[in-house]
Chain A
């Protein structure tokens, strides 16, 4: 999906930004020789603690700041060139919007800056308002919106031009789990459409869920970079998920695993429902009961113009899947065939493990596996982060 051969959307080479004081003396070095590449069609995560230079990087990419040294290009051009900006969408970390305009006027204003034709603009505005769940409050001034509602309209304005490159700065901050889920779905959908997304977030679970590659900044320098799989894989442990097992079966499994080179099961527990799932169920139930709300509603379906061309691709993927399913299974290995060396080493345990693996549910872990990620833990951390605002604390503690 992400081809390194393609020309990068964003390229920073030796990018340095030094803020100076009134007397032009260096005050703060926000970025120090940063090398960064965001490749086409990928979701790129920019991580780092407060003051690591994430927002400075984004402002440099948008031409709002100028580099002190080094080079930065977006779509191969200087970020200050207005031509490239028609392909960029930007959702800032705060709702930097006109408080006196209402949602519709706001989107209309930004749509006009993109020189969208009136009819197309109105169509997109309608779809985006429905998508972010603000259709019912579209005539209220944004100054009267809650923070989450302002984030939603901030997201909508970033999408009005159907951007090829979307910059999301802390997109889920201030959003309820509905909005958070929607943003993550949106990012995945945009990637499926071949768009490029730069995601900057403190909420590590968000990044983990959706990013292909991440770069971790600290003190204006890159401390780690690579795919999520590369950075997060723990090569010394395995996770097996199955239907509930009785004690006897667990004992058998334990025995099998212990026989496999003296390994032990460290933890066995019953899976729990995700807090996010619970929350979404509650809201859905309340909406079905027709309870009134003056705030944002649950976001509607994805704006059509954002998912154009996607149905065809999904259909193609579906057909591909069916094709693979109906294809005759590969012939079973003959009993007399000599297995590879590793399998030989696995010995009798392998069969038991295969048996266990066969029963695993397909949906979520499969999607993760496609991205090269590990199976998710029991809880969606972004939901907890959002509810408790503890993302930062946890990060400080060093736990993930």
Chain B
């Protein structure tokens, strides 16, 4: 019976054999170096890889079982899963992923660094490795499963059966989805368990432990203060008019140059709004904190202050200044602020007013020693330099929503690869799909920087070409930036909420919109394509 089981299920036999080999290896280590040796990093990683491989195998077996339902596209889907595993395409990527996930916790677990960084690194690297490796696997597999089938003419036999080209393509996509679901579930569980294990390790001090609990293994909503719109726009307009009147050359003689100048002015005004001149104060209002008040969650005011201007004592980052803060009119004790580093003020929920607002006022003078550093202009760092955060969910929920986004993006890559393979051979289809993937990854950067390209070109021809390139890249990056927008690894590692609304938006944009359009395009091409070639 066992012999038959092993003969009929070679993968089961392989896993069993690997388990026995591992046990023997463990015994060997114990016999050579005693129990301590068996607990060394390498054997532990090996054991973990084995465990994860078994889990992946079980998850894929379950996925295959689900694909055994009586529906023709599911038959195709099941074959895709078999192909992925038996043709070793997926095995390579899965092997890499499992080694990464098993090795990562032990690699970064050095007692000398703060626990919060170790946990954050584990989350960030774990999620990034999972999404990157599965993305690559999906592209190669999606392109390969269809283009090889057309090239090897296996598709002749399959499509001579009563299955349309649409359902056939759908089946291929389902297969890739199931494969990704199974692997993502295993990887997700592995990262989750590893994070829990890591967070239970020794922290540097109580503060470190506290940060892990309240800033990393949590899901916080972030609120940024917005400058008053009318006032802000008026300032921008005034600056533009002034520049036009005083230095029209500097304003620019082409629309592209003028747009660029206006963008710079807008950034300057915003920067100005976030800066506090010496001996002055500035107020910033955080709105939409009703939920924190309702939940009774304290608000974390997180900020990073830099300085402007020359001053001998401020010549290095990390310089401290003492400043006074007011929250909703209540004075806080004077605080020592380390310039150039993030700091946190914890505000009780009761302080939030009935409109759900918190007004923070910063006084740019030393309340106890007015002469000390009195000429320094302080400025909040760009981006997340000033924000209010409150806990809205647990780490677990956040983490799995993030994985949901990864799954949706993998679904898009799967249909993208399949669509490319409907009319291209394997290498070109892979190249196109990878180009789209990389463009999507860097679309944020492209959107930020492309407007500068070719602005200074002199000749009309060069300007025209630059305009064409700018337009093309802007359209491409504009379409693809949704992909980069839904990149939750950093958010989760930073303990920021990945809201359901983002997951649904990701599902709507990428899962339904992009997948639908790409799939429709693929189906149209595939439907019109002749599968036979000249063979007379």
Contact = CB atoms under 8 A, between A and B. Distances in A.
Interface string B144-167: 000000001111111111111000
Q: Which 3 A-B pairs have the closest CB atoms?
A: A112-B75, A100-B86, A113-B161
- Size category of the A interface is 35 or more
Contacts of B205: none
B75 to A, nearest CB: 4
A82 interface: yes
Interface string B74-109: 111011001100110000000000000000000000
A94 interface: yes
Contact of A109 (B79, B152, B159): B79
A96 B153 contact: yes
Contacts of A28: 534, 536
A114 B162 contact: yes
A100 B75 contact: no
Interface in B414-429: none
B452 interface: no
A98 interface: yes
A112 B70 contact: yes
Interface in A156-176: 157, 161
A339 interface: no
A97 B530 contact: no
Contacts of A83: 162
Interface in A1-48: 19, 27-28, 30
A360 to B, nearest CB: 44
B534 A88 contact: no
Given A96-B153, A101-B82, A56 B532 contact: yes
Contacts of A70: none
Given A92-B156, A96-B153, A101-B79, A85 B161 contact: yes
A51 B535 CA distance: 7
A280 B22 CA distance: 51
A59 B530 CA distance: 10
B490 to A, nearest CB: 39
Interface residues of B, number: 33
Contact of A98 (B8, B83, B163, B531): B83
Contacts of B392: none
Contact of B160 (A51, A88, A97, A101): A88
Contacts of B74: 112
Interface of A: 19, 27-28, 30, 51-53, 55-56, 59, 62-66, 82-83, 85-86, 88, 90, 92, 94, 96-98, 100-101, 105, 109-110, 112-115, 117-118, 139, 141, 154, 157, 161, 220
Given A56-B532, A112-B70, 9 more contacts: A55-B532, A59-B532, A88-B160, A90-B157, A96-B152, A100-B87, A110-B157, A110-B161, A115-B72
B294 interface: no
Contacts of A90: 156-157, 160
A118 B70 contact: yes
B382 interface: no
B374 interface: no
A64 B79 contact: no
A62 B158 CA distance: 11
19 contacts: A28-B536, A52-B536, A55-B535, A56-B535, A63-B160, A65-B531, A82-B164, A83-B162, A85-B160, A96-B154, A98-B82, A100-B86, A109-B79, A110-B161, A112-B74, A113-B162, A113-B163, A117-B70, A139-B7
Interface in B5-49: 7-8
